[in-house]
Structure formats: structure tokens, C-alpha cells
Structure 1
């Protein structure tokens, strides 16, 4: 019991100190060893750090570093070529100013579904949103919620085929691909988009009736007036996005399954199978091809291709080490006796339906760490095998387990201490007090309802 108390205290400290701005890369090993000491294993501290924590951290980097690296480079190239701005401006122009909120949400959705990172999307879309909302006298405080709805909800976890890391992490655990449970994912995406838009439009009407207006703000964002005349055409801007989507689909469903990959079952390649790696292989190839496509199509638009690539590479390091450190933390916690008590309790929450337990565990860990990928990684690295066995036992499709796992990571992760929440609010020059309420509704409450719906439908009808 003392060991369990140590785990709980460690988790609370991780959440609190991360919220206060301390680096997870430092916090994770320290608090993992804090839990080890509470378990009465002080003599094992160094071994836990070098053999358990670092092994968990290193294993995650080995598996997912290409996705972080290529995603960051792709996003930087999309930004520096002006392609992201072109796509955002297209939606604003075509949908008209009266549908300003929808145009911003769809701009973010298309960009993130095409593999562009949230940070690039934010920098590309915010200047357009700020100018548009100011012109129409829509409260600026609603911009963060619009960006969150488009970039960090359905295109991150629910929409089948999304290259987001939250959709990729479950693949090796359940032997699935990015298109797991497509019908349920599409239904959930429609629900989140429609309900989120209803909420935001309702908030606009309320603000208008109260004559709130855009508000008095000093616009200091460096990209506010950066929409340039040399930005590429819409066709050129969309081609890399389509390359990611189409290449990923073709490789996953047709080309890779037709290859002779029997060699993967040998010791040299870790005695694995194609099903365990096909999703990762497909998205890696798709992002490489998309990066090459951007460079070829925008050779003159990108001021310095070498610098753009280098900046993209550099920007990938901190995100993956943050998440990998949380995975290392989870590896240590999972090795403690107190965790067995916690694991058995969580699995027993709904003994006949592991989907419910899976959703609760991942949501709680994502909320504690303030990271969808971090919480999801910890949960599946510590309990993925358990859930796969339970899925087999109760006849639940691994695809359904994948979709629930992915969607569960994208709800309670968006609590106030979440890095993306803080980044978006800071980018917009606002505060939590001004903007977080609407962000909470569209990125936490609505996704939770969608997740509940997927679990219910999946339990009744199975995966589809």
C-alpha cells in the first residue's frame, strides 16, 4: 500500500510541476525514482534509471523518432513555402466572412489531417483568424477554441488515416494501421465537428447580443500581416497534403501487403511481423515523399531550403524527448508492485468490457501528464498487452481497441497544463481566464461524449 501511495504522489507531483513549467525531461526520471524509493527499493535506484527508465525512453525513440522528425520537417516546409497560408486563405475566401468560424476550423483540420503540426498550423492560421474576427467584430477569445477544434480533436484521434502520432502509437500494440475502425472514426469526427461548430456559433451569437465585440488587443504576433504575394497557388499547396493521404493509403492497403516480408520473423529483425510495422512504414514513406514534393514544387518560394530543413529537424527533438521521458517514467512505475494493485483496480472497473477500462486509464494518464501522446504511450507500454489479451478473451476487434485508445488520449489531455493549450493561448496573446472555457468544451467535453458514443456503438455492433 505504501508503494501505491508513492505512485499516486509521484503522479500528482508530475502533473503539478509540469503545469508550473518544469521540464518533463528532468521531472520524469526524478519522480520515477521518487516512486521507487517509496516502494522500499532504494538500493535499486541506479538500476531502475539505467536499465528500466532509459530502456523505456530509448525504445520509444527507436520506434517513433522518424514520425516526429519527418512531421516537423514537413510542417516547417509547408510553413516556409507559404502553402499553409494559401490553404487557410482559400477557406476564408470560399466560405465567406459570414462563415468565419467554420473557415478557420476547416483550415486547421485540412492542414493537420495532411500531417502539418499544430504549431505550424497555429502560426499560419492565427493571423488570418485575427484579421477576420476583428473585421467581423467576433470576440478574439474564441480563436483558440476554433484552432483547438480543427487541429486537436477529430483530426488528431478519430478521423481514420490521420498521420498524427496519437493515431500511430496504438498500431504496434494491436497490429492495426492508421485506418482502424473507419466507420466509427468518421461518425465520431462528424459528431465532434458539428457539435463543436454548434457550440462556437452559439457563443458568437451570445457575444453579439451582449455587444461584446472583438475586444481591445495589442496585436504583437510577428506573422500578423505575413500573407505574401509569392505564396503558391492552391493546387501547389494542396499537392503535398494529398501526397501524404494517398501514399499512406496505397502503401497500407495495397503495396506493402504484397511484398515478401517473411524475413521480419527472423532474429535479425526482432521476430516481428508486417502487421506490427506496416502503419509506421507507410506514414514514414508518405512523409518523405511529401517533403520532397514540397521542395520540388516550391524551390523558389522557400528562401533557404537547407535552413528550413535544419529548423524542422531541431524542432523535433524537444517533443519526442518530452514524450519518451514520460514513457520511461511509465516503464519504471509499471515495474513496481504498487502498480499491480492499481492495474488490477483499473481493469476491474468494467470487467466484462475492457473498452471502458482502456478509455479511463488513457484519459487519466493523458490528463495527469498533460499530453495525449505521453498518456497514451504510458498506458499502452504498461498495459497494452493486457488489453490485447482481454480483447481476444471477449472477442473485441483490435481495430476497435485502437480507435478507442486513440480517441481516449484526446480528451482530458487538454486540461489547463497541456503544452498545446498553453502554446495556443500564448500565440493568440490571451489568457486562460479569457479563452480556456471554450477550449475546454470543444477539446475535452465534446470528445468525451464522442468517445462514449464509439464505445457504445462498438460494444453493440462491433468494429466497422
Structure 2
């Protein structure tokens, strides 16, 4: 009982501290220490009896393990995003989409621009920073409440694009190393679910905005808007948008080549005999970065700074995720967690249901889709595959499940987008974000499991 109270209380404290602005590198270990104290886990190795685990070693094993597995992907992803931004390619693509869709569909334009960049391999954090300057004038001209901008950005970035088949985001790649699948696992069901989530979420967002406008809410300008829309050095001619799509196409194309080297015809002779799994993303992001660099030759003086900013951003992003993975690593040692995991694994019926519940809960516990997968999959993958679950179906179920409760208030991307990028508060903006990034993916998850059961 004490362990259960400690685990729930630590999670509640982690969410509270994050919403209040406490750095996750402080909040994560502090919350994990509470779990250890209420679970009878020694805080330091010398205090642990025999081979018993301890808080410090377990936390750092989870922290450094995730760092070692995914640092290169975070690094290249962040550098690719920064090069796309500095070269003007990201802004060019986003503005082109906005221009094609038009002011009458301002919300759709913001969602569409975010979705294209995300599925093209740009880090979700970079997408938020790239699209927000375009969202502000769109919402102002359409006279829409700006508190819905975070919801539009998050919906386009971390729902139907992030966890869909073929996505180069790591939330779609982590299951591969545990299940022996590829990034396109379960693509037929994934396509249906992605279309469902996109349509449902967009209609819901539009209705929320329309309801707010009907109540008298309007766009409220801020003194900082001019700086956001016209930052220093950004008011310049941009490369042609069609050319700017090439880095995104290169990421997806090279990613597919290294996923399916045997299907590349004459290229098969020079490609590796086997799929490179998650390492294919390194080759893909490298190719995309080179093309983005060529597009940004006029900005070559700024490129060293872009690489530096990207590297720094990668370290910040991955360490924030590592902090919650470390919390999750300690949480898994709690008797309350083990009891809950045992209950989930003993659920009767379809193994996909048990896997979905386990990943959803752990992703919510850690506030991270990638962190939740990294903790859950080593524990549940062998169990459910041993029960006869199809690895491809399990891959897609786990990916979609990880993108639901991960978007609780303490999620790093949610906090960054609402507060740092958009300058909003959780009180004003999180309600819409939760509906679109928690409820909609949960509906998509249920539909995916049902479709796998039918077909």
C-alpha cells in the first residue's frame, strides 16, 4: 500500500513540478527518490543489501541507457532541423502550405505545415519553433483565439504523423530493436488510423475554436509578435518551396532504401544486405542535412552556428527524456509497479490489449512516448511475442499507444510548446492540447486493435 501511494504521489509531484516550471532534470530524480523511499529501495549502492538494486545506480542506468541508444538520432535530427531552419527551407515549405490552403482555413494550414515537416523527419521541437511564427499572423488575420495555436502545433506534430508507419520519428523506430520489425510495420491499419485521427482531430479542433469565437474570444496581440514574425536575419528571400521539399523527400527516400535494401533494384548491389533498422535514420538524416546545406549556401556563414545550436538542442532534448526514463527505471522497481505490470500481463484475451495498456500507462507515468517504450518493451515484448502476438501488429499498437497518455501536462514537448514557444499557460491552452493529443490517439488505439482483431 505504501509503495502504491508513493508511486502515485511521486507521479503527481512530477506533473506538478513540471507544470510549475521546475527543470525536469531536478524534478525527475526528486520524484524517483520518493518512489525509492516508499518502496524500500536503498538510495546509494553502499546502503543496498547484497545484489539488491539502489536508487542512484538504477536511475543512472535508465538515464545513460537511453542516451547511449538514441543520442546519434537526436543529434542528427536536431542538426537537420536547424539547417532546415537557417537555410530557410522549413519556413519556405510552411509558408507554401499556408499560401495554398489560405487564410479561411488558418487552423488547417498550421496543422498541415506541422504534419509535413514532422513526417519529413524534422524534430517536433524544431517544427514548433518553425511553424509558430507563421501561425501568429494567420490566427491574427482570421481573428482566432491564439490559445489554440499550441493545440494546432501539437496535433500536427505528435499524433497522426509521429507514430504512423514510415515515420522517421524515434517513437516509430524504438519497437524495431525489440520486435525485429521495420518502420512500416502494420502500415495498412496505420493508414486507416492516421486518416481517422487526422479527420477527427481536425473537426474537433475547428469546433473548439468556433465555440470560443461564438463566446466572444478574439485574437489578442502582444508586443512580442513583431519579433516573432520577423526575427533578425529571417526577413530574406527564401528558397523555392519545391526545392525545399527535397531534404524531406531525401530523408524518407533514404530511410526506405536502408529499410528495404533488397527491393531497390540495381541499388541493391551497393546497399547492405540486411535492413539497418533504427540506424537507417542516421543515413537518412545525414542525406537530408547535406541537401539542406546545399539549399542554404547563401547562408553558409550561419551554418556553423546552426550545427552548434542543433547539438546543444539535441543534448537538452535527450537529457530531458533521459530524466523521465530514469524516473521510470526506478518506478519499475517499485512493488506497486510490478504488481500492476503482472496484472496487465495476466489480462485474458488479445495480447495487443495488454501491451497497449502497459505502454499507455508507462508512457503516462514517464511523460514520454519514447521513454515509455524504452521502459515497457524490454519487459513486455518477449512475453507477448511468446504468447503468439504478431510482431508487426504489436509494433504498431505499441507505437500508437505510446502517443496518448505521454502528452500529460509534464510532457517535455507539451511544456515547451505551450510555454516557451507560444507563451501561453497550461490553464488556457492545455485543455485543447489534451483533447487532441490524448483523447484522439486513445480512440485511434482502440480502432487499431479492433482492426487487427478483425483482419
Q: TM-score, normalised by structure 1?
A: 0.87
1:108-163 CA-partner distances (Å, limit 9, x unpaired) = 00001111122222222112111122112222222111111111111111x21111
1:201 to 202, 206, 209: 206
Partner SS for 2:299: coil
Q: Distance in 2 between matches of 1:365 and 1:214?
A: 38
Q: Distance in 1 between matches of 2:196 and 2:240?
A: 32
Please identify runs of 4+ aligned residues in structure 1 that moved more than 6 A. 256-262
1:347-376 CA-partner distances (Å, limit 9, x unpaired) = 23x322222222222222222332222222
Q: Which sections of structure 2, spanning at least 5 residues, go unmatched? A: none
Deviates more, 1:320-329 or 1:170-179: 320-329
CA contact (8 A) 2:372 2:402 kept: yes
CA contact (8 A) 1:6 1:39 kept: yes
CA contact (8 A) 1:123 1:223 kept: no
1:138 and 2:136 are equivalent in the alignment? no
Q: Quick one: structure 1 residues 40 and 75, their matched pair in 2 at CA, closer, same or farther if it must change by over 3 Å?
A: same
1:52 and 2:45 are equivalent in the alignment? no
1:231-267 CA-partner distances (Å, limit 9, x unpaired) = 11112211100000011011101259968989xxxxx
Q: Distance in 2 between matches of 1:32 and 1:367?
A: 15
Q: Distance in 2 between matches of 1:240 and 1:169?
A: 23
1:118 and 2:87 are equivalent in the alignment? no
1:327 and 2:321 are equivalent in the alignment? no
Q: CA deviation at 1:219?
A: 3.7
Q: Distance in 2 between matches of 1:332 and 1:256?
A: 43
Partner SS for 1:447: helix
Partner SS for 1:156: coil
Q: Distance in 1 between matches of 2:33 and 2:216?
A: 54
Q: Quick one: structure 1 residues 456 and 68, their matched pair in 2 at CA, closer, same or farther if it must change by over 3 Å?
A: same
Partner SS for 1:400: helix
The aligned counterpart of 1:413 is 406
The aligned counterpart of 1:38 is 38
Deviates more, 1:452-461 or 1:199-208: 199-208
The aligned counterpart of 1:154 is 160
Q: Distance in 2 between matches of 1:208 and 1:28?
A: 39
Q: Which sections of structure 1, spanning at least 5 residues, go unmatched? A: 263-273
Q: Distance in 2 between matches of 1:235 and 1:142?
A: 29
Q: Distance in 1 between matches of 2:409 and 2:257?
A: 39
1:248 and 2:246 are equivalent in the alignment? no
Q: Distance in 2 between matches of 1:40 and 1:421?
A: 33
Q: Quick one: structure 1 residues 213 and 346, their matched pair in 2 at CA, closer, same or farther if it must change by over 3 Å?
A: same
1:438 and 2:432 are equivalent in the alignment? yes
**Superposed counterparts of 1:362-373, under 5 Å:** 362-373=359-370
Q: Distance in 1 between matches of 2:176 and 2:118?
A: 19
Q: Quick one: structure 1 residues 6 and 428, their matched pair in 2 at CA, closer, same or farther if it must change by over 3 Å?
A: closer
Q: CA deviation at 1:57?
A: 2.5
Q: Distance in 2 between matches of 1:222 and 1:302?
A: 23
1:352 and 2:384 are equivalent in the alignment? no
CA contact (8 A) 1:4 1:341 kept: no
RMSD: 2.6
